Structure 1
Amino acid sequence: MTSTFAPAPGAAPVVRQILTQASMEARLMLRNGEQLLLAVVIPVIILVAGVRGSERINLDYDVQTFAPGVLALAIMSTSFTALAIATGFERRYGLIKRLGASPLSRTSLLSAKVLALLAVEALQVVVIGGVAFAMGWEPDISVLGLLVTILLGTTAFASLGLLLAGAVRAEATLAVANLVYLLLMAGGAVVLPASAYGSFGDVVTWLPSGALGEAMRAALDDAAVAWRGLAVLAAWTVIGSIATAKTFRWE
């Protein structure tokens, strides 16, 4: 009997490659306890502690202020810190090198990681938003502003996280990513509005952290679209993506 089997070797379509890689990335993130700590547990602790602490010392900040800022912090922690650390160690263990031998390009890898981040961030919004609602949060939402802010915040920080992970050793990535996270959390106008930093507030709004925080507050407090903040995030996305595409090393 003559076989009609005709092998047709070749790469899968780019969209299928990206979706498959994104699905795997999302599952790995949700199974990693350290990344879940960064993604959900720490932001929830900051939300509760910030609101209760402000009440005790009579600050003007309440859950209306903290909830959008903590959501912005969660996006930053997932798309920058967790992604940079995970990718850095993937390079160290040779996983990225093996992906480099596949048809998956740098652009496709970045796209897949961003899609995985968006899936995890949807979970973050549900959990953190649920805690905030339980504490009396009453947002005034611009759906367009919220969705565009999450998308551009994710792409901006993901491109910067991959830039860091692809340029230095895993141990250095771990140290630098955590240091940058702490510095931006404390002084980057993420959790608290830029007005809380006095004259320095005008400077931090040009950072991706400040732009993300201000855009999130506009979308959830004022039902508005912070076009200036979104433009800053878009600029950081372009800068980070170009730099990552040119410098990212598979091993």
Structure 2
Amino acid sequence: MSTGTYTPRPGAAPLGRMIAAQAAFETKMLLRNGEQLLLTVVIPSLLLVLFSGVDIIDTGDGKAVDFLAPGVLALAVMSTAFTGQAIATGFERRYGVLKRLGASPIPRRALMCAKTLSVLAVELLQIALLTAIALGLGWSPQGGAAGVASVLALLALGTAAFSGLGLLMAGTLRAEATLAAANLVFLLLLVGGGVVVPLDRFPDGVAALLQLLPITALSDGLRDVLQDGASLPWRELAVLTAWSVLGLGAAARFFRWE
């Protein structure tokens, strides 16, 4: 072969490079969406500041921010992993984006991995911002170094559970139905998921049922560690594990790409 000539080498990029490139693209798209930023960043921040500074809801003994901060962190995970992902994926499916990506060299498992990584990247930004706001409002998290592992496990399982449910909704409903249903579920779980309203404000039977919801398990688990200093909230971890298995399994089984 003479100098200055090249032999084409057609083929897909390595799997890791494809996942990294798609994850970076998905993250940029999430951060550029003003409606998603309102849902994932602005609303949780406003709730944290408002209910910590104004005595609207009786959050029990101690500072209101100590009760609210873990719940708002759980809300941030749900807003990104469930509501935001369901809406974005639903409209990608409607406009044929997923169908075209399916024809590209990137495997479906790599696409799902990239979407999960983009969700985790946005969640890290959310958690950092909300933690800074909560600390500025006087939050005193408990648990110490031993609680960090429990918090990470709760956040990871919560992300998996909400991602599975969000993808299940986006892959089985029309985009408009997904938009309406995801926002409705967000509002209902905000009120009844133990995020800003303590579960003991509900009747005993209702509270027992609400404890089985993933948002309640995540907010209560984070509260057990960060407010009460518990080492490992087994019940909440078990509930989130069950939702993760059911949600991801159902999404893998019933998700329609077009």
Provide TM-score, normalisation by structure 2: 0.89
Matches of residues 167-246 of structure 1 in structure 2 within 5 Å? 167-199=172-204, 200-223=206-229, 224-246=231-253
Percent sequence identity is 52
Q: Sort the Cα spacing of 1:106 and 1:204 in 2 relative to 1 into closer, same or farther, 3 A.
A: farther
Structure 2, gaps ≥5 residues long: none
When the two chains are superposed, the root-mean-square deviation of aligned CA atoms in Å is: 1.9
Q: Sort the Cα spacing of 1:147 and 1:8 in 2 relative to 1 into closer, same or farther, 3 A.
A: same
Q: Is the 8 A contact 2:85 2:163 kept in 1?
A: yes
Larger mean CA deviation between 238-247 and 97-106 belongs to 97-106
Which amino acid letter does the alignment assign opposite residue 174 of structure 2? Answer: R
Please state how far the C-alpha of 1:18 moved relative to its aligned partner. 2.2
Please state how far the C-alpha of 1:125 moved relative to its aligned partner. 1.0
Q: Sort the Cα spacing of 1:172 and 1:125 in 2 relative to 1 into closer, same or farther, 3 A.
A: same
Which amino acid letter does the alignment assign opposite residue 11 of structure 1? Answer: A
Which amino acid letter does the alignment assign opposite residue 229 of structure 1? Answer: E
2: CA distance, partners of 1:239 / 1:154: 13
Structure 1, gaps ≥5 residues long: none
Please state how far the C-alpha of 1:95 moved relative to its aligned partner. 1.0
Provide, for residues 15-60 of structure 1, a one-character-per-residue CA deviation record: whole Å limited to 9, x for no partner.
3322222111111111111111111100011112212332x67653
Q: Sort the Cα spacing of 1:195 and 1:15 in 2 relative to 1 into closer, same or farther, 3 A.
A: farther
Select 1:97's aligned residue among 95, 99, 105: 99
Is 1:49 aligned to residue 84 of structure 2?
no
Is 1:36 aligned to residue 42 of structure 2?
no
Which amino acid letter does the alignment assign opposite residue 109 of structure 1? Answer: L
Please state how far the C-alpha of 1:240 moved relative to its aligned partner. 1.2
Please state how far the C-alpha of 1:239 moved relative to its aligned partner. 1.1
1:18 match: 19
Number of residues of Structure 1 aligned to a counterpart in Structure 2: 250
Matches of residues 139-154 of structure 1 in structure 2 within 5 Å? 139-141=141-143, 142-154=147-159
Which amino acid letter does the alignment assign opposite residue 207 of structure 1? Answer: L
Q: Sort the Cα spacing of 1:164 and 1:66 in 2 relative to 1 into closer, same or farther, 3 A.
A: same
1: CA distance, partners of 2:194 / 2:33: 28
Please state how far the C-alpha of 1:6 moved relative to its aligned partner. 4.4
Is 1:79 aligned to residue 84 of structure 2?
no
